[in-house]
Structure 1
């Protein structure tokens, strides 16, 4: 089982050609010691092993028989020495111990060798059309950096945070060395087809090499027709203002109609109430009405005249005195 690193890490900023000693002091009782090198963007690689009951350590892989690397070993120590530093030595170095049951990270040191001359350039920004295609270019100038490198593409847009969308890995076969120089020029392409609005945004090319990670200048893809012309802006502003005024006018008109309707309803109710009281008063007065028929007993009138007289009635009401 591996345990967390207990000793603090160190950082070394050095120039090409200098020498450095990376210390490693572990607990008493360790049996085996290891040194690992991890270059930025790559997996850790085993460099050396040291058995505490032997006198010397052993280098492995490409570090074997390399006079620039050596070990200073002893009781519970395993120091790594690197001489004549090169750009490719830029990395993080881990010292690990084991007692045959678990692993422990004793020490870590990050070495950054200056003077790589690494440069990254991207293609210019451009406009894209629906259904079209575009190819983004990333040109890497390695300078004196002789180590492998990896290329990554990032996208940044208003809808989402920057994120990794593609990596070229360590495809150094796309590089060409310039005559009489150590500089490599590498060109990486990112083709995109069947473009739509989701492809709009800002793209960054990042290169990880020799302990460095460097971003290129951005490349922005603008979707044609995405920007509004001033005439369209003025037209939409005017339409919005007209719509707002119309809404206010309609609101005022509806409110006035409701008020008038409410007033008319109130007048009708008052009229009905007034008629009710008048009718009720008439009903009360009807109880005190007295009817009397006045007959004319004149005997000299003809039969027709007498009939007409009989049909004429006079009504009178007598209201009792209160």
Structure 2
């Protein structure tokens, strides 16, 4: 099990309220800390505590309650400056192990994820192509670390195609309400990729689904090319066969034969070969003189 577990991904409260942020500490280590990451990305130390002794706090509005299994932070009279991400941690030897964080927001001001849009809506592709699906959404800056983007292929064979967390290939603007985008690229596609794809964005328990992208793989294109390749192979095979037969005939008539002499040709045995669309034309000429015995 995890040594530090923060029970709430996001906490929303009204200005002036008292807020309690809970943290479970499944660890033998006694020394715990709370830090806050503000909107400007700075890390602020709030409190330190050995659960057997009185905790030390940096602001009279903060206080912590600790036991062997938990360390909770209380913020009195919440203000706008309290908005941010709060991390609970334990000292383990020389390291600090932090929880996943709890985002504190003002109630009613923002939602974790807004307006999930997919583009394009329809893709027509040929077998072997590479296609890119795009998913864009708006997210609170504090919640980006807790954001999950999942691509699902729907239908009778529904399956998860891709699953990304936090900032793993999810690109967001560096603003308070950030526009984020995640692209999914499918390479060397076949008829197996034919179907409808949904982008599912989840942040702190809130889930939104995109408007869907449909991929149609033109299998008929592949069949037409197979027919074309078969025709070209058959044509090449036929041409090669004709050339071999002509060569054999030439050798046969040039070789002296009993009862036949003075073989003369009016033209070379193989005069010229014209390749037309699907045709082989051979022009040759020869004459034989027979002598009676």
- TM-score interval w.r.t. the shorter chain? 0.3 to 0.5
Normalised TM-score (structure 1): 0.42
**Structure with the higher fraction of residues in helix conformation:** 1
**Structure with the higher fraction of residues in strand conformation:** 2
Normalised TM-score (structure 2): 0.46
Between structure 1 and structure 2, the one with the greater Rg is: 1
